[in-house]
């Protein structure tokens, strides 16, 4: 049998300096963008580093510079399709621009992610991106006092000097009401979860306002999580009350559960008896079993907006504290009467 592998110590900058015949500081400058080192010395350093298998210790650099290239990504419910897609797209964009990602799953932090964000600060991160969930104002203030920018996605914390990237949730809610009304729906309902986040409230309030202007009252149900099971339960409860003919579900997962229960348990025909609109345009929404009319949150544009904030921070150091609103797009499939398949409206 072969001898067990022995763990080797990491190759240090001092090892590279010794082999290249230069000082330790020359090695550091050779791996620091913009630092001064002669062409000959750089060549010898790079040859030595390649021979020894040297890699720069970014954590050590962060201790020297008091800041790293690490971005803390904090979120809850990361298993949900939209959040998972956003995480995949954003992390890829960060890596492509030389940032490193530190993911903290706040799913078990209940509603207080303070401890998680405090832990991220210990690593001298360059910035924190809160993808889902809402951090307490006091922990955001602590980040800002430590010079760590905070970028909020799809949430608002008024009065704090943070950058915010949001989809236009209100526009989605307004369009949902307008299309259901145009389809002849007058007995309207809206389904959400118990978590009254800014994005969900924005969708609901806009939907209800447009319906009210048209003289159509809206039955609002806000119970449980914003998931498939809650959508199923909502259909059983609401459709037992009266024959609603138009329903807006504030997430696609709610809408998918609602559709399945409405068809299989309540005998409703979609869209002849009942029109349903969702929000998020997750991959399952396009499955032929659902063909859900919904609103597309452009993950790529949300990611671009976050990256623009980080680029400004790298270039100017001073945060912009701006709110960037990303438009949503209605994706028409076949769950609303009178809206033709495969059409779309902005």
My answer on whether 86 and 105 are in the same domain is: yes
My answer on whether 197 and 335 are in the same domain is: yes
State the angle between helix axes of 198-213 and 169-182 in degrees (0 to 180), rounded to the nearest 10: 30
My answer on whether 161 and 46 are in the same domain is: no
pLDDT tens sequence across 269-321: 999 999 999 999 999 999 999 999 999 999 999 999 999 999 988 887 666 67
My answer on whether 334 and 212 are in the same domain is: yes
Domain presence at residue 256: yes
My answer on whether 284 and 313 are in the same domain is: no
My answer on whether 47 and 22 are in the same domain is: yes
Pairing of strands 163-167, 150-153: parallel
Domain presence at residue 280: yes
CA 81 to chain centre: 11
Which domain range does residue 21 map to?
Answer: 13-56
How high is the pLDDT of residue 344? 40
Domain presence at residue 206: yes
CATH at residue 101: 3.40.50.2300
Q: Is 29 exposed, middle or buried (0-12, 13-18, 19+ CB in 10 A)?
A: middle
My answer on whether 281 and 163 are in the same domain is: no
My answer on whether 183 and 35 are in the same domain is: no
Are 188 and 158 within 8 A, CB to CB? no
Pairing of strands 275-277, 246-249: parallel
DSSP string, 330-346: EE--SSSTTPPTT-EE-
Task: Give the pTM.
Answer: 0.78
When divided into structural domains, the chain yields a total of: 3
My answer on whether 310 and 323 are in the same domain is: yes
pLDDT tens sequence across 207-217: 999 999 999 99
Residue holding tokens 């960060």? Answer: 94
Are 209 and 176 within 8 A, CB to CB? no
Domain presence at residue 199: yes
What six digits make up the tokens of 97?
């621009």
Domain presence at residue 93: yes
My answer on whether 154 and 32 are in the same domain is: no
My answer on whether 152 and 241 are in the same domain is: no
Q: Which 3 state secondary structure label does DSSP give 199?
A: helix
Domain presence at residue 308: yes
Domain presence at residue 1: no
My answer on whether 90 and 189 are in the same domain is: no
Domain presence at residue 2: no
Q: Give pLDDT tens digits along the chain (346 positions).
A: 444 444 456 778 888 899 999 998 888 888 776 678 898 988 999 898 888 877 765 555 554 454 578 898 988 888 889 999 999 999 999 999 989 898 887 766 555 667 777 777 767 788 989 888 777 777 788 888 878 888 999 988 887 888 999 999 999 999 999 999 999 999 999 999 998 888 999 999 999 999 999 999 999 999 999 999 999 999 999 999 999 999 999 999 999 999 999 999 999 999 999 999 999 999 999 999 999 999 999 999 999 999 999 998 888 766 667 889 999 999 999 999 987 544 443 3
């Amino acid at each position: 049998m072969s001898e067990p592998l022995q763990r080797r110590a990491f190759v240090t900058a001092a090892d590279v300096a010794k082999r290249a015949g230069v000082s330790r500081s020359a090695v550091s400058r050779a791996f620091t963008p913009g630092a001064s080192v002669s062409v000959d010395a750089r060549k010898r350093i790079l040859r030595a580093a390649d021979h020894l298998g040297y890699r720069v210790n970014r954590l050590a650099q962060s201790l020297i510079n008091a800041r790293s290239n690490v971005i803390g990504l904090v979120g809850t419910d990361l298993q949900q399709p939209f959040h998972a897609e956003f995480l995949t797209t954003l992390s890829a964009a960060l890596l492509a621009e030389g940032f490193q990602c530190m993911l903290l799953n706040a799913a078990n932090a209940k509603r207080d992610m303070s401890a998680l964000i405090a832990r991220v600060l210990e690593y001298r991160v360059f910035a924190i991106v809160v993808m889902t969930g809402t951090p307490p104002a006091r922990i955001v203030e602590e980040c800002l006092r430590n010079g760590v920018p905070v970028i909020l996605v799809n949430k608002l914390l008024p009065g704090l000097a943070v950058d915010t990237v949001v989809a236009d949730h209100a526009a989605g809610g307004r369009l949902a009401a307008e299309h259901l009304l145009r389809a002849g729906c007058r007995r309207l309902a809206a389904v959400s979860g118990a978590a009254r986040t800014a994005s969900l409230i924005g969708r609901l309030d806009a939907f209800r306002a447009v319906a009210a202007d048209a003289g159509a009252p809206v039955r609002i149900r806000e119970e449980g999580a914003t998931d498939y099971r809650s959508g199923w339960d909502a259909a059983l409860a609401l459709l037992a009350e009266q024959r609603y003919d138009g329903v807006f579900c504030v997430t696609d997962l709610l809408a998918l559960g609602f559709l399945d229960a409405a068809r299989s348990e309540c005998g409703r025909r979609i869209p002849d008896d009942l029109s349903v609109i969702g929000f998020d345009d997750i991959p399952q929404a396009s499955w032929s079993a659902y063909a859900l009319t919904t609103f597309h949150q452009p993950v790529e544009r949300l990611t671009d907006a976050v990256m623009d904030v980080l680029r400004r921070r790298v270039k100017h150091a001073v945060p912009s504290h701006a709110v960037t609103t990303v438009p949503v797009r209605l994706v028409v499939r076949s769950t609303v009467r009178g809206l033709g398949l495969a059409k779309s409206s902005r």
